[in-house]
Amino acid sequence: MKHRKWSELSIPERCAIVGAGLVQIGLAGGAWWDLSRRPADAVRGTKETWALVIAINFIGPLAYLRFGRKPIHPVDEPA
C-alpha cells in the first residue's frame, strides 16, 4: 500500500481523517475529565493507570468509560 501525502488525498478523505481525529480527541478529553473528577474509590484500578490507558487510540477511552468506572450511588437525603 502506497502512502499518500496530505495534498494527494481527496476532500472526503481529508474530512474523514479530521473527523476521526476530533472524535478521538473528544473521547479522550471526556474520559480524562471524568477521571479527574471521579473519586479514586469509584475507579476500578488506579487513576494513574487509567490516565495512561485513555491515551491509547479509541480503545482506551472506551475501555475506561465501560470498564474503569464503578457506579456512583447518590447519597440518600433525609426525608
Residue 27 within any structural domain of the chain: no
Lowest-pLDDT range of 9-18, 47-56, 63-72: 63-72
pLDDT at site 79: 59
- Cα separation of 16 and 13, whole Å? 5
| Non-local CB neighbours of 4 within 8 Å, separated by 6+ positions | none
Residue 24 within any structural domain of the chain: no
- How far is CA 44 from each of CA 19, 32, 38, 71, rounded to the nearest angstrom? 31, 15, 11, 10
Residue 76 within any structural domain of the chain: no
Number of domains observed in the structure of the chain: 1
Residue 46 within any structural domain of the chain: yes
- Residue 19's DSSP bridge partners are none
Residue 79 within any structural domain of the chain: no
Q: Is the pLDDT of residue 78 over 90?
A: no
Averaged pLDDT of the chain: 91
Q: Provide the domain limits for residue 55.
A: 34-70
- How far is CA 67 from each of CA 9, 30, 42, 50, rounded to the nearest angstrom? 37, 15, 11, 10
pLDDT digits (tens, 9 = 90+) for 19-64: 999 999 999 999 999 999 999 999 999 999 999 999 998 899 999 9
Residue 6 within any structural domain of the chain: no
